[in-house]
Chain A
Amino acid sequence: MSYETRTAEFKAHLAAGGKVEATDWMPDEYREAALRFIEMHANSEIMGALPEREWIGRAPSLRRKLSLTAKVQDEVGHGHMLYRVAEDLGKPRDAMIADLLAGKTKFHNVFHYPTYTWGDVAVIGFLIDGAALVTQKALLESSYAPYVRVLKRICAEESLHQRHGEDLVLELCAGSDEQRAMFSEAVDRWWEPIMHFFGPPSKPERDMLLAWRLKTRTNEQLRQRFFDTYVPKLWDLGIPIPDPALEYDEAAGEWTWSDPDWDGFWRVVKGDGPMTEARLGLRRRTHDAHGWVREVMNQPARAA
């Protein structure tokens, strides 16, 4: 059977809602797209651990110190599981980490920003994780079955994080004026990165990830889902959102919103965010200082 025929059959299989296993035959284009997508997801989990990690040491109570550590640990755990899924598509984990550190592969734009207060921790835990949960739940429909299996566990943990994040937010919003301001200012800081999170409205017909059914929802569908859930919650708490156009249009059945600075988005995508170098640098330093540990992990123990 020719490559074209097999590819056509593969596409028909996907169109009928069929799933793909790591051991199945797949077109090279599908394998590459899946690998790149899942590798970036894994990168984003371990890089996404870093902004919140900055507050483990500074958490305001022992209970929050514990819950934040456990939450960041879960994110690293997600990276761990996702790298395994990506690895089965043909790229060793060491190579993926090396490419991330060398800036050859990307991590999500939202993790390139600094954290200033405990309010940032609340925003990340509630809104960034909320955006991630909306996205990841939609990915449960993905055609790549090993990814879906891991996403099921990730989504279960993310809904715990969601609750953890909302708990942080509610405590701040029920607190002193200073605490409310702390959260509100953090929402101001993070709103644009959150709009960037969903990406610019895209042309579905040009999106290869949609074509291969690696994802099934467009950027705009996900953004609207996010608005549905989180905007009313913020408004209920009396927390303004820095977008004067943001409002639900009953007639159109969707939210109106204003374009953020898309040039800024593309700068960050290219790896030029405010904290890109600092966060990669931290990871690079610990990585470079511990080649000897990797050497230990790559060979069985010898006799003493």
Chain B
Amino acid sequence: MDPRVTLLLALGDDELVIGHRHSAWTGVAPHLEEDLAFSSIAQDEIGHAVVWYGLAAELAGEEGVRELAPRAPDGGDRVDALGLGREPGGYRNAVLVERPNGDWGYTVARQYLYDVADDIRLMTLAGSSWQPIADATGALRREERYHLLHARTWVDRLARGPVDARAHLSGGLAAALAEAPGLFEAPPGEDALLADGVLPVAFAEQHARWLAVVTAELTALGLDHVLTDGGVHAAGGEFVATSSGELLAGDEPDAAPAAGNGGLGGRHGRHSADFTQVWEELTGTYRAYPGVRW
């Protein structure tokens, strides 16, 4: 498979799965106006997935899409085939985005860490030697501005809020930080992408940039302890796994990543048990009635 397709699927899957999780707050968010704001963010993220899948489908062609989504109907919508028609092990999203929403503290923490990461990723891809991907970043970054504003305003407000709010935020940040490295796990084929400039900066380097940003911002809010709680060495700014950190052997699609491995595995299609629930819900209706229009 063209490594660009693999990269686009990783990007699209992150956006789709986090958009799916975010969308579950629609109707039940903890504040009425926020319900509206967060639902728009969910919609934006799903819309971004559509953009990435569109590029992937174009690049992969009919044959490629069939190979990626063998159970998707012939002649159906190829974006839906990629978004809803793959087997669980074919999804390359980071483990972090498949986790359940938890409480609002975790939701805000994850949205913050994710959108700072997405911003860095999009800035990187804006300089891609492959024009279609570079072009796509413009519109996405315009929407990301609001996501970042939203994330930073909420993190700031919860950090300054009553002790209870601060505790909920800290807990959420520590839990999300522990799995955030998975967002920067290199997808298969990274070397080739780097070699021809499709990916101007390696994911490991993007990870370091991200860590510098979140470390500075969280420290300014007096929340540096969450970095340690989340397994990050604040001093060195690098992630240290609390276990061996080894990736799971084997390719069982639903094998859970080892606890403490930094939420890695997703880019290789290895997911937590939480993904099974996401996958069943997300793709269930599509799979149950193959080949029909909706």
Enumerate chain A interface residues (CB-CB to B < 8 A). 46, 49-50, 53, 56-66, 69-70, 72-73, 75-77, 79-80, 83, 93, 118, 168, 171-172, 174-176, 178-179, 282-283, 286-287, 289-290, 292-297, 299, 301-304
- B243 proximal to A (CB < 8 A): no
Residues of A within 8 A of B31 (CB): 293-294, 297
Between A83, A289, A293, the greatest number of chain B beta carbons within 10 A of the residue's beta carbon is seen for A293
Q: Would you call B103 and A290 a contact (CB within 8 A)?
A: yes
Considering only residues 10-26 of chain B, those with a C-beta below 8 Å from chain A are 16, 20, 23-24, 26
Residues of A within 8 A of B294 (CB): 60-61, 64, 118, 168, 171-172
Partner of A171, one of B162, B220, B293: B293
User: A66-B43, A80-B32, A118-B294 in contact; A60/B26 too (CB < 8 A)?
Assistant: no
Residues of B within 8 A of A77 (CB): 36
Considering only residues 23-38 of chain B, those with a C-beta below 8 Å from chain A are 23-24, 26-33, 35-36
User: A69-B43, A70-B43, A175-B293 in contact; A53/B164 too (CB < 8 A)?
Assistant: no
> Chain A nearest CB: distance from B102 CB in Å?
10
Q: Would you call B162 and A292 a contact (CB within 8 A)?
A: yes
> Chain A nearest CB: distance from B65 CB in Å?
14
In angstroms, Cα B32 to Cα A292, docked, is: 15
Considering only residues 214-255 of chain B, those with a C-beta below 8 Å from chain A are 220-222
Considering only residues 146-184 of chain B, those with a C-beta below 8 Å from chain A are 156-162, 164-165, 168
Residues of A within 8 A of B161 (CB): 292, 295-296, 299, 301-302
Please count how many residues in chain B sit with their CB below 8 Å of the partner chain's CB atoms: 52
- B126 proximal to A (CB < 8 A): no
In angstroms, Cα B189 to Cα A77, docked, is: 45
Residues of B within 8 A of A174 (CB): 293
Of the listed stretches B201-209, B259-267, B283-291, chain A binds B283-291
In angstroms, Cα B77 to Cα A171, docked, is: 15
Residues of A within 8 A of B222 (CB): 304
10 A-B pairs with least C-beta separation? A290-B30, A49-B27, A73-B39, A293-B30, A296-B161, A53-B27, A292-B164, A60-B285, A60-B294, A57-B281
> Chain A nearest CB: distance from B58 CB in Å?
16
Residues of A within 8 A of B80 (CB): 61-63
- B1 proximal to A (CB < 8 A): no
- 5 inter-chain pairs at a CB distance below 8 angstroms, sorted by A residue, are A69-B26, A73-B43, A174-B293, A179-B292, A290-B104
Main SS class of interface, B: helix
> Chain A nearest CB: distance from B110 CB in Å?
16
Enumerate chain B interface residues (CB-CB to A < 8 A). 16, 20, 23-24, 26-33, 35-36, 39-40, 42-43, 46-47, 49-50, 53, 77, 79-80, 83-84, 103-104, 156-162, 164-165, 168, 220-222, 281-282, 284-286, 289, 292-294
In angstroms, Cα B293 to Cα A292, docked, is: 44
Residues of B within 8 A of A171 (CB): 293-294
Q: Would you call A293 and B165 a contact (CB within 8 A)?
A: yes
Residues of A within 8 A of B285 (CB): 58-60, 118
- Smallest CB gap from A56: residue in B: B23
User: A62-B50, A292-B165 in contact; A72/B159 too (CB < 8 A)?
Assistant: no
Residues of A within 8 A of B84 (CB): 60-62
Between A50, A73, A289, the greatest number of chain B beta carbons within 10 A of the residue's beta carbon is seen for A73
> Chain B nearest CB: distance from A108 CB in Å?
15
In angstroms, Cα B31 to Cα A302, docked, is: 20
Partner of A61, one of B28, B36, B286: B286
